[in-house]
Amino acid sequence: NAGVTQTPKFQVLKTGQSMTLQCAQDMNHEYMSWYRQDPGMGLRLIHYSVGAGITDQGEVPNGYNVSRSTTEDFPLRLLSAAPSQTSVYFCASSQPGSPRGWKLFFGSGTQLSVL
Amino acid sequence: QQQVKQSPQSLIVQKGGIPIINCAYENTAFDYFPWYQQFPGKGPALLIAIRPDVSEKKEGRFTISFNKSAKQFSLHIMDSQPGDSATYFCAASKNAGGTSYGKLTFGQGTILTVHP
């Protein structure tokens, strides 16, 4: 199984550009989420989804959009990139129920630099 | 504000030593406390987790100690090995009728180096 697949692995953007970070999982997990990882800050939740067509904001949602049209895919859109969005982005998935719901399966990350 | 505070930021031990990483939380609604391990270039992976109704959980060389009254928990790695060198994150989550699944609040991370 591939698990959680993120593309691209690396990306450089100029301020103001838009782009979409792709995330796909093949485990039929209902829950998917996006986190950003910054030095000294740990991982912070951007957006999450509890199923197709259902999304909600996390701790740091500003400047990002998400949609979930299928169970497998959960893309993250940067509307107008800013240097503050330079970070490593992780997509994760999990199954509902306790304690399975809190076992997150992470992708390998996308390293984004905004100049 | 950082709801889960983790220390130290970095830790260096010799092989066989027992590194200890500490976390403190503020929100008493948290009821699940996992630890994740991350190797360079990889995403975090669940290592071990504990619920607040127990004071200790052990899996292999990894042990979580939990102090509910102090709102603190810690990770101990027994007989540490160079292969344990990684970044460790504590986290917390609260059960809000199922809608909290997949939503974790992470600590800042600890970079552990185990020298041979």
- Note the pLDDT tens digit of each residue in A42-80: 999 999 998 999 999 999 999 999 999 999 999 999 999
Q: What is the pLDDT of residue A34?
A: 97
Q: What is the DSSP string of chain A?
A: ---EEEE-SEEEE-TT--EEEEEEESS--SEEEEEEEETTTEEEEEEEEEETTEEEE-SS-TTEEE--SSSSB--EEESS--GGG-EEEEEEEE-SSTTGGG--EE---EEEEE-
B93 touches chain A (CB under 8 A): yes
User: What is the nearest CA distance from B82 to chain A, expressed in angstroms?
Assistant: 22
> Tokens for B15?
């092989």
Q: What is the pLDDT of residues B6-50, one digit of tens each?
A: 999 999 999 999 999 999 999 988 888 999 999 999 999 999 999
**With an 8 Å Cβ cutoff, are A94 and B98 in contact?**
no
- For residue A77, CA distances in Å to A8, A73, A90, B27 come to 13, 13, 13, 31
Q: What's the CA gap between A53 and B14, in Å, rounded?
A: 50
**With an 8 Å Cβ cutoff, are A31 and B100 in contact?**
no
Count of A-B CB contacts under 8 Å: 78
A50 touches chain B (CB under 8 A): yes
What's the order of all strands across the beta sheet hosting B20-25? B4-7, B20-25, B72-77, B62-67, B56-59
Is residue B64 helix, strand or coil?
strand
B101 touches chain A (CB under 8 A): yes
B45, B101, B105: residue with CB nearest A101? B101
Is the pLDDT confidence value at B96 over 90?
no
A92 touches chain B (CB under 8 A): yes
Percent of chain B exceeding pLDDT 90 equals 77
A58 touches chain B (CB under 8 A): yes
Question: Per the omega criterion (within 30 degrees of 0), is the bond before A99 cis?
Answer: yes
A40 touches chain B (CB under 8 A): yes
Please tell me which residue of chain B has the smallest CA distance to A96: B101
**With an 8 Å Cβ cutoff, are B32 and A109 in contact?**
no
Please tell me which residue of chain A has the smallest CA distance to B105: A44
A106 touches chain B (CB under 8 A): yes
Is residue B57 helix, strand or coil?
strand
Beta partners for B49? Answer: B34
Q: What's the CA gap between A62 and A75, in Å, rounded?
A: 15
Burial profile A43-60: b = 16 or more Cβ within 10 angstroms, e = fewer: bbbbbbbbebeebeebeb
Q: With CA atoms as reference, report the closest residue to B10 among B116, B115, B113, B114.
A: B113
**pLDDT tier at B101 (50, 70, 90 boundaries)?**
low
